[in-house]
């Protein structure tokens, strides 16, 4: 009878467990989808592998792209094409401590292909966004130098910007309309400027690795014109938590972002090329120079940053300098970049013109008992 009681209790536990499905590399993207789950003891996380060749490997927060010695590892799962049976790998949750995961394929972790179970929420310094940013900042390297490890442990990543979607009625002169937009704490209401103005920002003037001014406020309908000076710079939109990477490379919602491309200017030239964007809403805009090493030296800018909160310009620039301008756009190895999606979300500013311990169950294990 005692055995039957234990068996019945075990069956109840199994029956009440929740299964979480996670796609690995779906649609050619270097990401887990979803990227985090919150699970109870006994729950099962089921990873399904999509083309091409990925792994599900356990790491640690401080070394996101290094497999822990006793951690689980699916091994490489090569998938030729969608359709048919897709391989899977299961992890059963034994406790509620955070579990950190990454893809071991060359270059993938450095592009942010990481995952977590029971990660603390922002603004906790050990949140998933902080974990992913650390993977991006070390460019997915398999070893971390003592200086990187020390700086990573001493530096606290600012919290991710928090936004809410609101609907507001806007009245300008004799016109009234309703608009829905992303609002951040401290951002002004979505009222267009009565007289739109153009804001000028110089890029690399006087040989300095700087945008000047580097932090401005602009109203809806205003334009911002970037004027390039010698030598060779870019104006590239990024995000607060990944200051030195193009927004298109890091956005989980397929934002494209603007990018001027490189604008080489000779030292004796008087014909200075420009690049212009239009302000469509009051959400903060973050940007950087894509030239090698420039972002890591603080060559970043912001438009409508909320200076009263933690996601201010100084924090953005400090984060750029902390990650030393790490860019993961030149990853090596067998990895392939994800194709661009036809479903995109418009960025805040649009380009107008450019002049000149865990139990691991591998799927298929049951076959041993059939």
Q: What is residue 303's predicted lDDT score, i.e. its pLDDT?
A: 95
Q: What is residue 277's predicted lDDT score, i.e. its pLDDT?
A: 96
Q: What is residue 106's predicted lDDT score, i.e. its pLDDT?
A: 86
Q: What is the rounded average pLDDT of the residues 286-299?
A: 94
Q: What is residue 191's predicted lDDT score, i.e. its pLDDT?
A: 64
Which of 5-9, 108-112, 162-166 is predicted least confidently? Answer: 5-9
- Tokens 């993938």 correspond to what residue? 108
Instruction: Say yes or no to pLDDT of 23 above 50.
Output: yes
Which of 281-285, 291-295, 348-352, 364-368 is predicted least confidently? Answer: 364-368
What is the rounded average pLDDT for all residues in the chain?
Answer: 77
CA distance 336 to 108: 9
More confident residue, 30 or 180: 30
Which of 53-57, 123-127, 185-189 is predicted least confidently? Answer: 185-189
The string of DSSP letters for 197-264 reads -EEEEEESGGG-S-EESSEE---BT-EEEEEE-SSEE--EEE-SSSTTS-HHHH-TT-B---B---EE
Which of 158-162, 195-199, 250-254, 310-314 is predicted least confidently? Answer: 158-162
More confident residue, 69 or 299: 299
Q: What is residue 266's predicted lDDT score, i.e. its pLDDT?
A: 94
Half-sphere exposure of 59 (CA within 13 A, CB side): 27
Q: What is residue 325's predicted lDDT score, i.e. its pLDDT?
A: 53
pLDDT digits (tens, 9 = 90+) for 197-254: 999 999 999 999 999 999 999 988 899 999 999 999 999 999 998 999 999 888 877 8
Task: Read off φ and ψ for residue 53, nearest 5 degrees.
Answer: -140, 105
CA distance 176 to 195: 17
Domains by residue range for the chain, with CATH: 2-141 (2.60.40.420), 192-354 (2.60.40.420)
Highest mean pLDDT among 121-135, 254-268, 303-317: 254-268
pLDDT digits (tens, 9 = 90+) for 46-100: 999 998 889 999 999 888 999 998 899 999 988 887 667 899 999 999 998 999 9
Q: What is the rounded average pLDDT of the residues 295-312?
A: 89
- CB within 8 A of 108, min separation 6: which ones? 30, 54, 102, 140, 331, 335
């Amino acid at each position: 009878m005692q055995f039957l009681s234990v068996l019945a209790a075990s069956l109840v536990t199994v029956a009440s467990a929740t299964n979480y499905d996670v796609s690995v590399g779906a649609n050619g993207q270097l990401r887990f989808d979803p990227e985090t789950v919150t699970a109870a003891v006994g729950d099962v996380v089921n990873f399904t592998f999509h083309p091409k060749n990925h792994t599900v490997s356990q790491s640690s927060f401080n070394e996101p792209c290094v497999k822990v010695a006793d951690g689980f590892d699916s091994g490489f799962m090569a998938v030729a094409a969608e359709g048919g049976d897709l391989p899977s790998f299961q992890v059963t949750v034994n406790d509620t401590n955070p579990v950190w995961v990454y893809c071991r394929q060359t270059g993938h972790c450095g592009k942010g292909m990481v995952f977590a179970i029971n990660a603390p929420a922002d603004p906790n310094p050990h949140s998933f966004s902080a974990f992913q940013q650390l993977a991006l900042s070390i460019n997915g390297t398999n070893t971390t130098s003592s200086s990187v490890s020390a700086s990573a442990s001493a530096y606290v990543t600012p919290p991710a910007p928090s936004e809410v979607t609101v609907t507001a009625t806007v009245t300008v002169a004799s016109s009234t309309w309703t608009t829905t937009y992303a609002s951040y704490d401290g951002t002004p209401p979505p009222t267009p400027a009565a007289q739109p103005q153009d804001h000028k920002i110089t890029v690399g003037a006087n040989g300095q690795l700087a945008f000047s001014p580097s932090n401005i406020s602009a109203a809806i309908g205003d334009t911002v014109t970037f004027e390039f000076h010698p030598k060779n710079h870019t104006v590239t939109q990024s995000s607060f938590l990944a200051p030195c990477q193009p927004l298109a490379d890091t956005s989980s919602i397929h934002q494209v972002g603007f990018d001027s491309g490189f604008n080489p200017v000779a030292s004796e030239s008087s014909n200075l090329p420009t690049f212009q964007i239009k302000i469509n809403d009051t959400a903060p805009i973050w940007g950087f120079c894509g030239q090698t090493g420039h972002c890591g030296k603080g060559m970043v800018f912001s438009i409508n940053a909320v200076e009263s909160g933690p996601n201010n310009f100084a924090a953005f620039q400090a984060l750029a300098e902390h990650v030393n301008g790490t860019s993961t756009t030149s990853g090596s190895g067998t990895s392939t970049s994800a194709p661009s999606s036809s479903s995109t979300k418009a960025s805040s500013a649009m380009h107008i013109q450019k002049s000149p311990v865990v139990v691991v169950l591998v799927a298929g294990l049951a076959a041993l008992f059939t």
